Amino acid sequence: MAFLDFLTEEIAIDLGTANTLIIHNDKVVVDSPSIVARDRATGKIIAVGREANMMQGKTHENIKTIRPLKDGVIADFDASEKMISMLIKAIPALKKKLFPPSLRMVICIPSGITEVEMRAVKESAERVNGKEVHLIHEPMAASIGIGLDIMEPKGNMIVDIGGGTTEIAVIALGGIVCDRSVKIAGDVFTNDIVNYMRTQFNLFIGESTGEKIKIECGSALDDLENPPNEMEIQGRDLLTGKPKSVLMTHKDVAKALDKSIIRIEDAVMETLSQTPPELASDIYNSGIYLAGGGALLRGLDTRLSNKTDLPVYISEDPLRAVVRGTGIALKNLEIFKNILVR
Ligand SMILES: Nc1ncnc2c1ncn2[C@@H]1O[C@H](COP(=O)(O)OP(=O)(O)OP(=O)(O)O)[C@@H](O)[C@H]1O
Ligand SMILES: [Mg+2]
């Protein structure tokens, strides 16, 4: 239906556990936390994205905030479909249209997702006017977004540390040669910090505070070249019940995250040990690329580099690497048709 193509709009979506991003006309037009707020009485979604995120931890009994994706899989289909639909409708250029345009989409999905879930994502997308819906696996999209030439006969290793999962993949000739997905990523890091505050300082903090600590004062190493300032944290004293505050440093966070980071290191080592020798020698020369929000954790690159004896590079703007790659796949569907999920 090429003659109707002018009525079709193209969008690329990174449906992430922590963040959903959308590219339209080469621009990131949506970059929003993957969260919705629902009215318990009517079941209606009253807010999505940033607005819903601000309600998190502060809701009363009539409002519930939901993260539709958990651990890299869809935990609430209905909420996830409504979230996608509301975010698409909020794209400024599409809002102006008289009729909702039909959409050609490439959606990036976590690689741990099942057939049934894949079909559900596709059907959700079709219900929001998707007339041509393609799916792509996250490590593929991340590799394209980083600018790696994934079609070459050369191995590349990519580690995408998102909110729900860390996906480790060796890619060559447009395919995933070996991969691992572990459910240790940003959400677990945040939880580690919340638990650490409880056990070390008797301080009860919420998830949002835990995440703030991770971003502002987070570290994977005790020794950092440019350590962040110490941070004053407020919460509730578990013994007295009163609000109190404590000072913490990046060393506290490094201690809190240590066990989880060891599990990521182990998964990287296992993937390396399963890599065929010819590709291993490529990786020896080209190193490991990090993407996803977790790549921004201070010292994580150094730690992985020490563990593997390989150079480790943080991709440019790692939070957007996946959506960038999804956008490139969308614009070059013919070139990338074989790497899309069939
Ligand atoms: N500066 C930072 N330091 C440490 N962690 C960070 C930083 N910035 C963001 N993060 C974390 O990165 C995670 C989000 O990353 P990203 O958007 O790549 O995940 P996602 O794609 O939504 O999740 P997934 O790929 O698992 O479905 C969150 O847990 C967030 O707290
Ligand atoms: Mg992701």
Q: What share of the chain is helix, strand, coil (3-state, %, to 5)?
A: 45, 30, 30
Give the sheet arrangement for strand 130-137, strand by strand.
27-33, 19-24, 8-15, 102-109, 130-137
Instruction: Specify the pTM.
Output: 0.94
Residue 98 confidence class, pLDDT cut points 50, 70, 90: confident
Domains parsed from the chain with CATH numbers: 2-141+322-339 (3.30.420.40), 155-184+261-319 (3.30.420.40), 186-256 (3.90.640.10)
Both tokens assigned to 192: 């580690």
Residue 5 confidence class, pLDDT cut points 50, 70, 90: low
pLDDT tens digits for range 217-238? 999 999 999 999 999 999 999 9
What pLDDT shows up at residue 114?
A: 85
The number of beta carbons lying within 10 Å of the beta carbon of residue 110 is 23
pLDDT tens digits for range 257-269? 999 999 999 999 9
Q: How far is the CA of 10 from the centre of ligand 1 (A)?
A: 26
Residue 112 confidence class, pLDDT cut points 50, 70, 90: confident
CA-71 nearest atom, ligand 1 = 26
Probe ligand 1: pick from 107, 143, 179, 297, max atoms within 8 Å of CB?
Answer: 297
Residues 15-36: what's their mean pLDDT? Answer: 96
Residues 46-50: what's their mean pLDDT? Answer: 94
Residue 2 confidence class, pLDDT cut points 50, 70, 90: low
